[in-house]
């Protein structure tokens, strides 16, 4: 064995740099956090080749005095930590690792001028080697320049992704920071392209600027509090979902985070109202007592440790659950997007063809005269005027919007909520069968169901073993009337195929309720009377989460009068 020896300071810094600065996005995040901690009101970020070649962060904050520049790039030197017990941390940075880590892995130049200093001064660090502090030209504040990231640590550099991928990650880091500090103006430039340039604004204005005005306009205001913790922000209705988590922002005590507990809580809150593979849209801000929060979990400071993790999870899930339980509103309904686009120079002919095609699908006996007492503010889904393809209910709202409702999806949600109410009250009502039904299943599926007989009994389903691979059904949920017992059991066996963790079990119970509801619901292809259609619409208006079915698909779409005018060439051309 070779003798034990101390590593050189340069090697120590390069090893430590790998924990703090693992890619350009991390360097950008640390530099922008320094600018925010310095009280900047304006921050500009300039990236070249995804930040691999060059990162420049310019702010108008308090700056660093000439005599402290050399100390600023020393490891574990910081002006931010006033509580060495690490309990009361009120700044984004506090570890004193970012600048020395960047300087150990790249070429770092700091140019700074605080208020009251006659000129700016600069210091350079390249691969851990520190230069002299010298005079320089510079405005009030600090300008940080990072070049040739990881040139001094080739092992790290070879694992970088393409400049485009690294640039997207860096842009995402700035996006999260801009969401956390709406009172600060941000300008982000990547390869001479302005990604976004937002002024200082209120939180609603920042959400509109970075989420998009149409998206932000469809989101719902959220306010909740519990035991000293407050939750605020905006969350999208069930109909507003995305293929990725890009439009999700979490800010805790002013710190943008990617905490797994918060991400999980958001996913669970929407799990039974949006389709699998889709993600909710939300901007959530939490204020937590400092003593109940540990931000010193990881050098990147993007994950937290909550003293009452279960309480935080329950607060988020409960608040969003109440939000989603609000009555349906056309303001948050997905718009109907016709597949055909009409040419501006021939609107009338195209519109006429569309109208003829749609009218040929209407069921003649269902069409009737619409009268304004039938729809008003209390009935946003309007009055039924027709049934299309024996599957979709066409109704007219008081504001002139056409609403198309999927009768099966809508009734599926109504049935699930009815079953959920019974389940939460203690037990779903069961209907004993006059003649028990024997269902043959693969042995693994039969065993899986029999292992959960107590849970199934709470769902109104009474079963028992009946030989290898067979299950005897003695009772079914009363709300299901006459379901296919074999199909129902096979579906439920799939729901109980996951792990037995508490979260998974809760999710399986929700999935089981959804399966039960699907077996009971009005099927597509069933002709409804006008009275049945209107009764369905009225029940939807009084049922929580009626905007989506149990699988997360929308139950209704709308076509506003303004959109119809544009489609038919009456305006917008």
The three-state (H, E, C) secondary structure of 447-490, written as one string: HHHHCCHHHHHHCCCEEEECCCCEEEEEEEEHHHCCCCHHHHHH
Nearest one of 195, 235, 158 to 28, comparing CA atoms:
195
Answer CATH for 353-573 from 1.10.1510.10, 3.40.50.1820, 3.30.1370.100, 1.10.10.1400: 3.30.1370.100
Whether the full predicted model's pTM is greater than 0.85, yes or no, is no
Of the candidates 239, 273, 245, the one whose C-alpha atom is nearest the C-alpha of residue 260 is 245
Beta bridge partners of 470: 440
**Residue 316 and residue 230 in contact, taking contact as beta carbons nearer than 8 Å:** no
Q: Which two structure tokens, joined as six digits, stand for 324?
A: 């989603």
pLDDT for residue 204: 92
Give the domain 203-326 fold.
Ribosomal Protein S5; domain 2 (3.30.230)
pLDDT score of 456: 83
Place of tokens 């999980």: 264
For residue 275, what are its two tokens? 């389709």
Q: How many helices (H) and strands (E) does the chain have?
A: 18, 25
Cα angle 185, 209, 179; round to 5: 60
Decide yes or no: CATH 3.90.660.10 for domain 9-198: no
Residue found under tokens 């109440």: 322
- Reported in sequence order, the residue ranges of 509-559 that DSSP labels E, i.e. its strands, are 556-559
CA dihedral sign of residues 509, 507, 324, 231: positive
Distance CA 227, CA 211 (A): 31
Domain ranges, ordered by start, for the chain: 9-198, 203-326, 353-573
pLDDT for the residue numbered 339: 40
How many Å apart are CA 309 and CA 288, to the nearest integer? 11
DSSP secondary structure, 120-151, as one string: EEEEEEETTEE---EEE---SEEEEEEESTTT
Residue linked to tokens 């694992």: 159
At residue 394, the pLDDT reads 92
Position 501 scores a pLDDT of 41
Binning the chain into helix, strand and coil, the percentages to the nearest 5 are 40, 25, 40
Residue among 410, 379, 406 nearest 393 (CA): 406
- What phi and psi, each to the nearest 5 degrees, are found at residue 180? -80, -20
Splitting the chain (573 residues) into consecutive groups of 10 residues, what average pLDDT does each group show? 73 62 91 93 96 96 91 70 53 67 90 93 92 93 94 84 93 96 96 95 94 88 93 90 90 91 91 82 93 71 81 92 78 57 37 37 42 64 87 87 89 81 75 88 85 82 87 82 74 64 47 63 73 89 83 83 81 53
Q: Are 320 and 221 in contact (CB under 8 A)?
A: no
Distance CA 191, CA 243 (A): 27
CB 483 within 8 A of CB 519: yes
CA–CA gap between residue 262 and residue 249 (Å, rounded): 10
3-state secondary structure (DSSP) of residue 221: strand
Q: Give CA separation, 81 vs 4, 29, 40, 251, 480, in Å.
A: 34, 19, 18, 21, 62
CA dihedral 523, 526, 528, 533 (to 10 degrees): 30
Contact present, 198 and 42 (Cβ < 8 Å): no
On whether the CB atoms of residues 51 and 105 are closer than 8 A, the answer is: no
Which pair of structure tokens corresponds to residue 209? Answer: 């600027």
Rounded to whole angstroms, how far apart are CA atoms 120 and 140? Answer: 8
Instruction: Of 357, 352, 483, give the one whose Cα is nearest residue 430.
Output: 483
């Amino acid at each position: 064995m070779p003798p034990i020896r101390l590593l050189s300071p340069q090697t120590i810094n390069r090893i430590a740099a790998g924990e703090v600065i693992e890619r350009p996005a991390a360097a950008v995040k640390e530099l922008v956090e320094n600018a925010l901690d310095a009280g900047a009101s304006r921050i500009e970020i300039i990236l070249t080749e995804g930040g691999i070649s060059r990162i420049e962060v310019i702010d108008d904050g308090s700056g660093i005095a000439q005599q402290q520049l050399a100390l600023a790039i020393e490891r574990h030197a910081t002006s931010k930590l006033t509580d060495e017990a690490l309990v009361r941390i009120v700044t984004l940075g506090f570890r004193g690792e970012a600048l020395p880590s960047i300087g150990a892995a790249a070429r770092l130049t700091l140019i700074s001028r605080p208020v009251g200093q006659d000129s700016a001064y600069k210091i350079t660090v390249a691969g851990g080697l520190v230069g002299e502090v010298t005079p320089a030209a510079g405005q009030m504040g600090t300008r940080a320049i990072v070049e040739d990231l990881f040139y001094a640590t080739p092992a790290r550099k070879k694992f970088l992704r393409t400049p485009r991928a690294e640039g997207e990650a860096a842009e995402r880091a700035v996006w999260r920071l801009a969401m956390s500090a709406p009172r600060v103006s941000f300008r982000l430039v990547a390869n001479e392209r302005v990604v976004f340039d937002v002024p200082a604004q209120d939180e609603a204005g920042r959400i509109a600027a970075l989420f998009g005005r149409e998206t932000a306009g469809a989101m719902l205001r959220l306010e909740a509090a519990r035991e000293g913790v407050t939750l605020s922000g905006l969350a999208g209705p069930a109909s507003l979902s995305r293929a990725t988590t890009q439009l999700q922002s979490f800010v805790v005590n002013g710190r943008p985070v990617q905490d797994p507990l918060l991400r999980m809580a958001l996913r669970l809150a929407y799990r039974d109202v949006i389709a699998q593979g889709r993600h909710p849209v939300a901007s959530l801000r939490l204020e937590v007592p400092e003593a109940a929060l540990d931000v010193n979990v990881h050098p990147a400071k993007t994950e937290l440790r909550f003293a009452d993790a279960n309480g935080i999870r329950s607060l988020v899930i409960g608040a969003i659950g109440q939000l989603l339980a609000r009555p349906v509103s056309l303001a948050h309904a997905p718009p109907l997007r016709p597949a055909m686009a009409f040419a501006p120079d021939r609107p009338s002919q195209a519109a006429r063809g569309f109208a003829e095609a749609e009218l040929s699908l209407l069921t003649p006996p269902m069409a009737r005269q619409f009268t304004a007492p039938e729809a008003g503010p209390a009935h946003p889904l309007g009055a039924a005027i027709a049934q299309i393809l024996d599957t979709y209910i066409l109704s007219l709202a008081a504001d002139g919007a056409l609403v198309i409702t999927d009768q099966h999806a809508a009734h599926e949600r109504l049935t699930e909520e009815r079953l959920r109410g019974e389940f939460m009250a203690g037990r779903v009502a069961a209907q004993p069968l006059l003649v028990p039904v024997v269902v043959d299943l693969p042995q693994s599926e039969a065993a899986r169901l029999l292992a959960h007989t107590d849970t199934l009994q709470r769902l109104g389903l009474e079963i028992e073993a009946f030989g290898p691979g067979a299950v005897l059904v003695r009772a079914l949920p009363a709300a299901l009337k006459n379901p296919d017992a074999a199909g129902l059991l096979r579906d439920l066996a799939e729901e109980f195929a996951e792990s037995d963790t508490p979260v998974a079990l809760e999710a399986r119970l929700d999935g089981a309720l959804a399966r039960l509801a699907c077996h009971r619901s009005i099927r597509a292809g069933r002709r409804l009377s006008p009275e049945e259609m209107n009764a369905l619409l009225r029940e939807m208006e009084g049922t929580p989460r009626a905007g989506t079915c149990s699988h997360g698909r929308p139950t209704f779409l709308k076509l506003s009068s303004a959109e119809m005018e544009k489609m038919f060439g009456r305006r917008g051309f």
